């Protein structure tokens, strides 16, 4: 009887060890990922810049909301603005009936109200600019697509300043040629030249090189990363993976690799993960942002909430409701978390790079609870951990370190 029992226990332990072995890479990656010591909230808002002038009013309204809140250190909430530096000069192209692409850059006097609102928020510490792209598309691909796609042709003849959001999704990816599907990669020399150009214009407008880049539609590759890194970018925002192309149906396609905060890419760029969303115009309420903050905090991760400019433009009633929801989210977040910190994404990247112990937990025992929460979210692994009883020693580990 005792031999039987001993045998069962040995088999049981063996199965658990095998499970740990099979998932060792995932478990190690989640262990290496930095653990933040407190709740951190950042709003990451893309697509601002060269585009409709109503952005100026929206940015002013956002500034006022953000300035109504402070964390315990007296810092305002930060909204990073993924900036688009130029847009098609549709009026010139239409008037001249030329087949060549023409652009209007953000530093043109015409955009002064938008730039003034942007700069006011930067000076107050509620906005920080990030590079989203010279355009939110690859101009030659848009020009090529316009020959066969009526929607694109009409977009290129927009009366006034165009919205890049109105292009077909496949064409909103800057770093591929998606004139037709599946997309084609861009020549390396053209990527490098485009990066040189966008960094130059970014510097002209903001007086410094971009530190953080946000790939449009999260499609980019090693060449883009190397080019950005060579021109001062040290951090790339990712959705937790990388897409490099679009398939025959226009869907983003990647190798499925999991990217975690603090991992490094080409040219030693640091990746940060933005995979939580607060898009009021899509029906997201403050609670969605609060749920994300709760989960990310338990996982020892910063909460980067994606919220595009479209939430705050267009229909005034919807924009007002979006601002009210943003305000409610901030009120509730401050009420729930006394240690809540408002930081910029750059602050977070620098804290990770420098192992800043005022934000990063380095003691192994104190890191365990966040690690356990992270691995318990890996559905397949956790199901097997329950089935094999591995959850029991993990639960004991959690109790010991709590
Ligand atoms: Zn975008």
Q: Tens digits of per-residue pLDDT, 61-84?
A: 999 999 999 999 999 999 999 999
Check: CB of residue 119 under 8 Å from CB of residue 55.
Answer: no
Q: How many residues does the chain have?
A: 402
Query: Coil, strand or helix: which one is 284?
Result: coil
91 exposed, middle or buried (CB, 10 Å; 0-12, 13-18, 19+)? Answer: middle
Identify the CA nearest to 39 among candidates 301, 272, 240, 305.
301
- Residue 144 confidence class, pLDDT cut points 50, 70, 90: very high
pLDDT recorded at residue 1 = 64
- Ligand 1 centroid to residue 23 C-alpha, Å: 35
Q: What is the mean pLDDT of residues 10-31?
A: 94
Q: What are the structural domains, with CATH classification, of the chain? A: 36-360 (3.20.20.370), 363-402 (no CATH)
Which two tokens mark 50? 């060269």
- Ligand 1 centroid to residue 307 C-alpha, Å: 10
Q: Tens digits of per-residue pLDDT, 237-293?
A: 999 999 999 999 999 999 999 999 999 999 999 999 999 999 999 999 999 999 999
- pLDDT above 70 as % of the chain: 99
**Number of Cβ within a 10 Å radius of residue 7:** 10
Identify the CA nearest to 309 among candidates 78, 138, 87, 62.
62
- Ligand 1 centroid to residue 203 C-alpha, Å: 20
Q: Give the mean pLDDT of the chain.
A: 95
Burial letters 359-392, b for 16+ CB under 10 A, else e:
bbbeeeeebbbbbbbbbbebeebeebbeebebbe
pLDDT recorded at residue 9 = 87
pLDDT recorded at residue 71 = 97
Identify the CA nearest to 114 among candidates 165, 161, 44, 51.
51
pLDDT at position 3 over 90: no
Q: Tens digits of per-residue pLDDT, 94-123?
A: 887 667 899 999 998 899 999 999 999 999
- Ligand 1 centroid to residue 83 C-alpha, Å: 9
Identify the CA nearest to 208 among candidates 189, 190, 232.
232
Q: What is the mean pLDDT of residues 16-44?
A: 96
- Ligand 1 centroid to residue 324 C-alpha, Å: 23
pLDDT recorded at residue 8 = 87
Phi-psi region at 16: left, alpha or beta (left = phi > 0; alpha = psi -120 to 50): alpha
pLDDT recorded at residue 89 = 94
């Amino acid at each position: 009887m005792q031999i039987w029992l001993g045998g069962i226990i040995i088999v049981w332990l063996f199965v658990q060890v095998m499970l740990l072995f099979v998932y060792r890479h995932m478990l190690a990656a989640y262990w290496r990922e930095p653990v933040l010591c407190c709740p951190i909230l950042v709003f990451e808002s893309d697509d601002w810049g060269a585009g409709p002038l109503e952005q100026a009013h929206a940015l002013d309204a956002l500034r006022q909301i953000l300035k109504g809140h402070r964390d315990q250190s007296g810092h305002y909430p930060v909204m990073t603005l993924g900036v688009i530096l130029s847009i098609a000069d549709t009026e010139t192209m239409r008037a001249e009936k030329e087949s060549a692409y023409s652009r209007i850059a953000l530093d043109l006097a015409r955009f002064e109200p938008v730039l003034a609102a942007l700069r006011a928020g930067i000076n107050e510490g509620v906005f920080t600019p990030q590079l989203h792209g010279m355009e939110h598309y690859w101009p030659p691909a848009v020009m090529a697509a316009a020959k066969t796609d009526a929607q694109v042709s009409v977009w290129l003849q927009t009366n006034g300043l165009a919205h890049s959001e109105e292009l077909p999704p496949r064409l909103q990816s800057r770093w591929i040629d998606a004139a037709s599907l599946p997309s084609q990669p861009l020549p390396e020399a053209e990527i490098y030249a485009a990066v040189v150009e966008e960094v130059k214009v970014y510097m002209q407008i903001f007086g410094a090189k971009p530190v953080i880049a946000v790939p449009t539609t999260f499609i980019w590759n090693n060449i883009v990363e190397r080019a950005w890194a060579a021109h001062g970018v040290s951090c790339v925002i990712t959705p937790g993976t990388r897409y490099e192309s679009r398939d025959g149906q226009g869907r983003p396609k990647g190798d499925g690799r999991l990217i975690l905060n603090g991992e490094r890419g080409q040219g030693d760029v640091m990746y940060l993960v933005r995979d939580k969303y607060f898009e009021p115009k899509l029906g997201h309420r403050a609670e969605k942002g609060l749920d994300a903050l709760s989960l990310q905090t338990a996982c020892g991760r910063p909460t980067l909430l994606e919220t595009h400019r479209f939430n705050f433009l267009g229909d005034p009633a919807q924009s007002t409701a979006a601002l009210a929801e943003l305000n409610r989210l901030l009120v509730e977040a401050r009420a729930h978390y006394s240690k809540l910190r408002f930081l910029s994404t750059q602050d977070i990247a620098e804290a990770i790079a420098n192992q800043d112990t005022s934000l990063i937990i380095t003691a192994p025992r104190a890191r365990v609870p966040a690690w356990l929460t992270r691995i318990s979210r890996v559905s397949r692994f956790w199901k097997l951990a329950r089935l094999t009883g591995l959850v029991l020693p993990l639960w004991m580990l959690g109790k010991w370190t709590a």
